[in-house]
């Protein structure tokens, strides 16, 4: 296959500016007076990160997992007026109850399931969820609205801004593929109006959220794994653990041989910075810096030095900020394919950067709300929203995985289930168990597993738009995967009467206030009852349980806060 040299040069130059701007932003920040996000260790396992939105600091404090994602009870301090959010994070995703406190002491609360909004528990700002306006859809991101409030924008102002954007959007004839261009033009119209302040704040927040999204990038995860393992290389990690990522590279025109050569160059480049200690508190942050520097190096090699349009790294970065960091939407994958005939390392770097960029721009929450409203009001069915939760009973003979179809995308869910494999992001074409249809939560038990083997699983759901997948969870068969008995629960879980007939009482003592989930499991390992008990207070708690739906037999009651669990057996006898 031949490619037109002039077109090839043009696209290479365009992509060089794109990638240069992106990675320079990651490394030098948005503007000279606003430094990069800074991470510091507070105590064992607890970190504090700070970045700026406008000229106001946002500080995040809490524990992180082995990939640098927030994991545990995390506190977000927005701005400098005392707006705080306290929420359980599971591998970078909000999970369970979030408590939000305003500067005047007013409190709001809501609930999430693995990053997806479930319900509001207190606030009245978003009461008409049947309203498909962009503002009401923005209510599915309470943390984002709360942050905008912290930076001086009340809900009336936000609603007016969103309504104005929609008014401009609906002057265009509906063309889904043109949506992002329409939004860019609408924002340009409002740039010199009083709305320019919220536009700028959203650009800063989009960048921060985009960087958070990048922590789940599979290439990044592969590089981290490689740097933790002696004798490994990034290509082998991708090939064995993230084969889906390799397929995505193939789809963009990068063959396995070229990608392997690129990975070798990346490993060599990163090693040139010197050795890293995986036990160092800032190991992950050092890896991130090296990844971005390495990709920036490859990207800079693509710059067309003969072009009169060549710009400095800093001016390129700032131009991306001025355009709200959305130029990437205009570079679609189909156009990218023409670049990859005998791909060079610089061109493979562009494909890797493209995958990162697509995750990065998902950080623009206002744009996401506009897109969902735009599609709903034009009768476009979206793919469902699905989440995955590791529920437990972990042994070689049985592991329970819970799925939750949070939204149906505007069409009935015809099937749903759990897919699993020995590699990341399995699909229905691998191992899969179907679990009825419709929205809501469901559980399946994976059996016949090999003891000591690492497995990956994720929920899936199908409507007439496509198959949607939830987040991917991992576990080691016959291993507690971090769930430690009695870590949060005092050793006094009691069910009475036992045996029970139709009603039983569960009494337990919590060492600290937390969000607690209750499972009842039969002797086959099937979850027969599930209830999120919500945020319970420290000390003695008592729950009344209706057993009328259970048959006679022995069951196990399990209480879990996501990181610890306590179990107790009981009998139903009538």
128 pLDDT band, cuts 50/70/90, is low
Per-residue confidence (pLDDT) for residue 542, from 0 to 100: 84
The answer, yes or no, to whether residue 548 has pLDDT greater than 60, is yes
484-572: CATH topology is Immunoglobulin-like (2.60.40)
CATH 2.60.40.3080 domain range(s) in the chain: 484-572
3-state class of 213 per DSSP? helix
The answer, yes or no, to whether residue 78 has pLDDT greater than 80, is yes
- Quote the Cα angle for 446-449-454, to 5°: 100
- Domain 385-476 matching CATH 2.60.40.10: the answer reads yes
CA distance from start to end of the chain: 75
Q: On the CB side of 427, how many CA atoms lie within 13 Å of its CA?
A: 10
CATH 2.60.40.10 domain range(s) in the chain: 385-476
* pLDDT per position as a tens digit, 163-178: 999 999 999 988 888 8
Answer positive or negative: Cα dihedral of 179, 180, 182, 187. positive
More confident residue, 561 or 59: 59
How far apart (Å, rounded) are the C-alpha atoms in residues 561 and 487?
A: 10
Tokens of 45: 């396992």
Per-residue confidence (pLDDT) for residue 21, from 0 to 100: 54
How far apart (Å, rounded) are the C-alpha atoms in residues 458 and 418?
A: 6
The DSSP output letter for 37 is P
Element (H, E) at 266: helix 256-271
**Percent of the chain residues past pLDDT 90, beyond the cut:** 40
* pLDDT per position as a tens digit, 398-449: 788 999 999 999 999 999 999 999 999 999 999 999 999 999 999 998 888 8
* Lowest mean per-residue pLDDT among 73-87, 200-214, 260-274, 314-328: 314-328
The answer, yes or no, to whether residue 92 has pLDDT greater than 70, is yes
The answer, yes or no, to whether residue 12 has pLDDT greater than 70, is no
- The segment with the largest mean pLDDT, out of 220-224, 354-358, 522-526, 547-551, is 220-224
The answer, yes or no, to whether residue 157 has pLDDT greater than 90, is yes
3-state class of 107 per DSSP? strand
What's the chain's average pLDDT?
80
Per-residue pLDDT, averaged over 89-94, amounts to 90
Per-residue pLDDT, averaged over 93-121, amounts to 89
Tokens of 479: 């291993």
The answer, yes or no, to whether residue 317 has pLDDT greater than 70, is no
């Amino acid at each position: 296959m031949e490619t037109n040299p002039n077109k090839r040069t043009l696209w290479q130059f365009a992509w060089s500016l794109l990638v240069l701007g992106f990675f320079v932003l990651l490394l030098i920040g948005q503007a000279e007076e606003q430094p990069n996000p800074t991470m510091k260790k507070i105590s064992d396992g607890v970190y504090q990160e700070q970045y700026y939105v406008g000229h106001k600091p946002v500080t995040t404090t809490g524990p992180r997992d082995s990939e640098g994602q927030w994991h545990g009870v995390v506190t977000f301090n927005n701005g400098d007026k005392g707006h705080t959010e306290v929420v359980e994070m599971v591998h970078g995703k909000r999970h369970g109850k979030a408590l939000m406190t305003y500067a005047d002491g007013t409190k709001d609360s809501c609930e999430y399931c693995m990053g997806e909004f479930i319900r509001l528990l207190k606030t009245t700002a978003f009461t008409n969820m049947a309203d498909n306006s962009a503002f009401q859809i923005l209510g599915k991101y309470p943390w984002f609205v709360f942050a905008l409030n912290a930076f001086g924008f009340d809900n009336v102002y936000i609603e007016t801004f969103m309504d104005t954007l929609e008014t401009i959007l609906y002057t265009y004839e509906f063309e889904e593929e043109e949506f992002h261009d329409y939004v860019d033009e609408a924002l340009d119209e409002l740039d010199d109006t009083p709305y320019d302040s919220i536009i700028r704040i959203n650009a800063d927040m989009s960048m921060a959220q985009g960087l958070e999204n990048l922590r789940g990038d599979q290439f990044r995860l592969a590089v981290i794994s490689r740097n933790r393992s002696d004798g490994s290389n990034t290509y082998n990690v991708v090939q064995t653990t993230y084969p889906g990522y390799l397929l995505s590279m193939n789809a963009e025109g990068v063959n396995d041989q070229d990608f392997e050569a690129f990975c070798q160059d990346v490993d060599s480049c990163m090693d040139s910075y010197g050795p890293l200690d995986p036990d160092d508190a800032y190991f992950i942050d050092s890896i991130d810096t090296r990844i971005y520097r390495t990709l920036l190096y490859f990207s800079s090699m693509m710059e067309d030095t003969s072009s009169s349009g060549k710009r400095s790294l800093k001016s390129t970065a700032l131009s991306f900020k001025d355009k709200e960091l959305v130029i990437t939407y205009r570079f679609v994958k189909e156009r990218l394919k023409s670049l990859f005939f005998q791909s060079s390392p610089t061109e493979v770097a562009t494909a890797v950067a493209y995958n990162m960029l697509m995750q990065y721009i998902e950080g623009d929450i206002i744009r996401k709300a506009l897109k969902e409203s735009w599609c709903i009001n034009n009768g476009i069915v979206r793919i469902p929203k699905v989440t995955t939760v590791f529920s437990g009973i972990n042994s070689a003979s049985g592991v329970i995985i819970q799925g939750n179809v949070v939204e149906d995308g505007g069409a009935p869910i015809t099937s749903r289930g759990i897919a699993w494999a020995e590699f990341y992001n399995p699909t229905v074409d691998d191992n899969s168990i179907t679990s009825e249809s419709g929205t809501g939560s469901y559980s399946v038990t994976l059996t016949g597993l090999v003891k000591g083997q690492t497995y990956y699983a994720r929920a899936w759901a199908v409507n007439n738009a496509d198959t949607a997948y939830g987040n991917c969870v991992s576990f080691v068969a016959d291993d507690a995967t971090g769930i430690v008995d009695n870590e949060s629960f005092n050793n006094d879980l009691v069910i009475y009467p036992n045996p029970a007939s139709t009603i039983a009482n569960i009494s337990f003592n919590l060492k600290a206030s937390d969000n607690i989930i209750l499972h009842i499991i039969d002797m086959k390992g099937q979850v027969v009852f599930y209830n999120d008990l919500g945020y319970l207070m420290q000390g003695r708690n008592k729950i009344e349980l209706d057993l009328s739906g259970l048959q006679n037999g022995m069951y196990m009651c399990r209480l879990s806060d996501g990181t610890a669990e306590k179990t107790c057996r009981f009998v139903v006898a009538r």
